[in-house]
Amino acid sequence: MEDRVRVVIAEDSVLLREGLTRLLTDRGHDVVAGVGDAEALIKTVAELAAEDALPDVVVADVRMPPTHTDEGVRAAVRLRRDHPGIGVLVLSQYVEEQYATELLAGSSTGVGYLLKDRVAEVREFLDAVVRVARGGTALDPEVVAQLLGRSRKQDVLAGLTPREREVLGLMAEGRTNSAVAKQLVVSDGAVEKHVSNIFMKLGLSPSDGDHRRVLAVLTYLKS
């Protein structure tokens, strides 16, 4: 399978961990390990690295034992630092702005933040896993809405029109220009014009390459 990826799952709920494993393997992906806490996640990835068998992506809960606060996201941040080639997709019960900001503040590639309810949207979840594994970005629409709401308060995106903010939000979810056009019922050309305006208004030059799509959403994090 062209989009087949190797996955490590870190989730303390055995039921959810097994469910994610079944969901991914049924679609042809390889779940190479499943662990229940952040320490085991770090150790497992290190062991795989020593065997030159790093996974393509780690799917991890934000909150894991022993304190069920931020162990998962801190492990995710560490993995992104120690193994830049690994995609990291974190799952959270709620939108936790502090954790989302911490995760997204570094490299803009191979990262995702989804609410656990999104797992029920099987196709969207599987698409997100593959996209992050391939170096893309997957942000839950609720996360995007909250982060963009904060950025508006800070006037970081004050120069964007309401339509441009709407396009930016859909871009942040990982949608292509064609998918944005379909969602908004406009032409591909109209979306391309909006995207170009967003890049220009946020000061993102062509030299920033394909990552401009992500940087456009994350600009406010650096303010």
100-116 per-position pLDDT tens digit: 777 776 666 788 889 88
Other beta carbons within 10 Å of 2: 5
Q: What is the mean pLDDT of residues 204-216?
A: 64
Higher pLDDT residue, 98 or 155? 98
Please write the tens of the pLDDT for every residue from 58-71.
Answer: 999 998 888 888 88
Q: Give 159's contacts (C-beta < 8 A, 6+ positions apart).
A: 201
pLDDT of 201 higher than 90: no
Please write the tens of the pLDDT for every residue from 118-158.
Answer: 788 898 899 999 999 998 888 887 776 666 565 554 556 77
pLDDT of 221 higher than 60: no
CA distance 198 to 200: 5
pLDDT of 188 higher than 60: yes
Nearest CA to 90 among 62, 127, 129?
Answer: 62
Dihedral angle, C-alpha 107, 171, 95, 112, nearest 10 °: -40
The mean pLDDT of the chain is 83
pLDDT at 107: 62
Q: What is the mean pLDDT of residues 178-192?
A: 92
Q: What is the pTM of this model?
A: 0.70
DSSP letters spanning 9-33: EE-S-HHHHHHHHHHHHHTT-EEEE
